[in-house]
Every structure is written in structure tokens, then in C-alpha cells.
Structure 1
């Protein structure tokens, strides 16, 4: 069992990829978090204004998704980690996770530089090895949205060196997430809506 555990209306709206039985782990071991994820994905739409208007420090798309998860009890989370050798402790800080709840870590990468994927995957790998998380999730954008961005006159804002699916998949297939179960959602043109 894999992504077929997801409702069809989700797989119709998102490009989905899974590694190491992430869907089965979520659905069976973390049913509340699974329901939260499905709720956020079902309710998310990609409004035209979120593409054409400036986003500031964080994109409007990331903010919309974050806020919905936060309203369901998820939180941005940092972890204090150390390596101890004999009596000597060395801090080994991890990057904070966008959305975290009950050992599930979720990152939203809408339009960052693509090395952010390396950071996210390395963070998931380390936190999984330390038993701080059980599944890592990344929400990014599908490659085909570039056509929409170009049509809206914003194509240069979303360049080839920014976060999108074809920049993420080779990193995962190359072992970037280590043994961490991973679930990836690509925001597709099916989610696009015109707004004022």
C-alpha cells in the first residue's frame, strides 16, 4: 500500500510521491495527523493573487498552508540536539521545521532556492535517526506551473533554480532523506483559481 491510500480527489489535485511506506505509517500510526494533512490539502487553493502579488519574507502560498496547519495544532519547531563523546557535549543544531505535530515534520517549499531541499532532507534524515520524527513531508510546486507563471508575466520570479518537483525528486532518489519515510506533494494547476 502506498499513495493509493490517499483519496482520489487528493491525487487528482496534487502530484504525489512516497518513500518507505510514509502513507501507511501516517494513516495507521498517526491518524489524527493524517486527517489534518488531508484537511489542509483538500481546502487549499492556489489563488492568482498569491502568484502575481509580492510575498515579502515568506510567500503567500507558504503562509496560507502554515496558518491552516497551525490552526490544527501544528507548530513551527526547533530541536536542541547534541553529540556526546565521553563527558564532552557538542551542540548539533538542526534547522527548525515549518510545521510539526506528534513526530510528523512538514516543510513548505514554494519558491526558495533549490538547496533548501538539501537542508530539509538532511534535517529529516537526522531527526529520524534521532527518533524525533517518524515521517517527513514536503509540499512544493509541480514543474508544469511554470507555464502558468509565464502566462501571468511572473515566469522570471519562479526560475529553474528555485524549489519545484524536478529539483526535489533526484535528491530523494539519491538518498538525501536517508531512511526517513517521506511523502511529497506537488501543487498542480488543478488547484489554481482566479481571484480579485
Structure 2
């Protein structure tokens, strides 16, 4: 399962027998994910222009999933006493696959949110699984090599386009704040322009407190979301093309 993703360097992890659940009960859904993800390609220019928000490549992945049936769904879990509603909870998931057997798989893409969003997703999955609403939860986030390689990606982009001053980055969509501009100038005196831009941009927009593989692992180590079966997928640095 997911051999093509492994071959491309994707991080993969499974919890609470999730791999067996997908392999035996939902092989078609697993094939859909494996087909959609290799098409993920994010030009470095989109990454920089996103300003830390969701890159267009991630939006394309969302669209590709929606087209094949992984659509947003709102679950309403209601408690009744003698037929009268007494309590209800609502859980919205960005991508849900309804299987022919009537079961649900839930998927969230956490490309670049604040890392507490992992707690929200995992607790939602836990509650939905406990209530029998979903069979498995899936999270896609930046993989190890992508997170670790962001500074190098920015440096290569700057070199590729012979950028030597901040004004040349504006057409690409990066307009640093006065604080960021001053930080870049101070660092450039010591480390050079490309390193300074890469350090400030990545620290401010894709820092350690955002959603990426290591932050997800921290939650799992603490047992967040347990015992919901989970599939975790981390795209590698290779999905970013330095154009």
C-alpha cells in the first residue's frame, strides 16, 4: 500500500491498525489517495507568494480530492431522551469519503496552520470514531524533508532568478513588513542576502509552531486522538519545484 508514495519519499505512518483497515475494507479509497497525491506539485514561486497561507498546489490537491468524492461534510451527533433532542455536537471535516458499504473516511489537510489545529483534527477524529461515524482519520501535512528543506528551496529560488534586493521579490508576491525588512538587512550584513531572506521568510511563515510532521508526531506521542485509527501522510521536499 502507498508504494508509489514511499518511492517518492513521502512520510507515512499508521496508528491503531489503520493500514489493515484501509487494505482490507477500503482499498479503493486508498487507491484514490495514492493516485491524487503524486500529482501534487508546488512551484517555489507559489510557495513564496502564498505568504504562509495555503499554496495553490494544495488548493489543487483539495480540488482533485473533491472531484473524486472526498468532499466537505458536517456531522451532527445528537443525544435524545424519549425521542426529544437534548444535546448535539457538530463536527465539520474538509474531506470525507462515503464508501459503498456506507462507512466514512475523514481527511484533513494541514498545510500551514498553527499547530494546535492538529489537536482539533485529532480530537474530532477521536469523537467521530467513538460515535461510529468514521472508520479512519487521515491527515496530510508537510513532511520532514519539506519542512527541513524550506530554507534551501528559498535560497535556490533566489539564485535561480538572480534576485539581489528586496524590491525584486515584490513581483513574486513577497512584500516583507518593516520588521521583516529590518531583520533581513541585519542578517544580510552577516550571512548574505539569500540566506537572510530564507531565514526570515521561513521563520515567519513556516516556523516550528506551524503544522508539520514533527508537530504531528508530538501529538501522537502524547496519545492525542487515540484510539482512532489514523493514516498520516507527509509530502517531501521533492513536491516543490524551483522554477
**Match of 2:11?**
15
Inter-CA distance 143–35: structure 2 relative to 1 (3 Å threshold): closer
**Match of 1:112?**
113
- Alignment match of 1:51 (pick from 41, 47, 60): 47
TM-score, structure 2 normalization: 0.71
Inter-CA distance 142–81: structure 2 relative to 1 (3 Å threshold): same
Distance in 1 (CA, whole Å) between partners of 2:136 and 2:77 is 18
Structure 1: gaps of 5 or more residues: none
**Match of 2:87?**
90
CA contact (8 A) 1:83 1:91 kept: yes
**After the TM superposition, which segments of 4 or more aligned residues of structure 1 sit over 4 Å from their partners?**
55-58, 85-88
Inter-CA distance 46–58: structure 2 relative to 1 (3 Å threshold): closer
- Alignment match of 2:238 (pick from 186, 190, 194): 190
> 2:156 aligned with 1:161, yes or no?
no
Distance in 1 (CA, whole Å) between partners of 2:44 and 2:52 is 16
Distance in 2 (CA, whole Å) between partners of 1:57 and 1:47 is 14
Map 1:66-145 → 2, pairs under 5 A: 66-84=62-80, 87=84, 89-94=86-91, 96-102=92-98, 103-145=104-146
Shift in Å at residue 97 of structure 1?
0.9
Cα-to-partner distance string for 1:81-119 (whole Å, 9 max, x where unaligned): 12345655112222x111101211100001000000000
CA contact (8 A) 2:111 2:141 kept: yes
CA contact (8 A) 1:51 1:149 kept: no
TM-score, structure 1 normalization: 0.87
**Match of 2:166?**
none
Q: Which moved more, 1:81-90 or 1:158-167?
A: 81-90
CA RMSD, 1 decimal: 2.0
SS of alignment partner, residue 79 of structure 1: strand
Structure 2: gaps of 5 or more residues: 99-103, 155-197
Shift in Å at residue 120 of structure 1?
0.2
More helix by share: 2
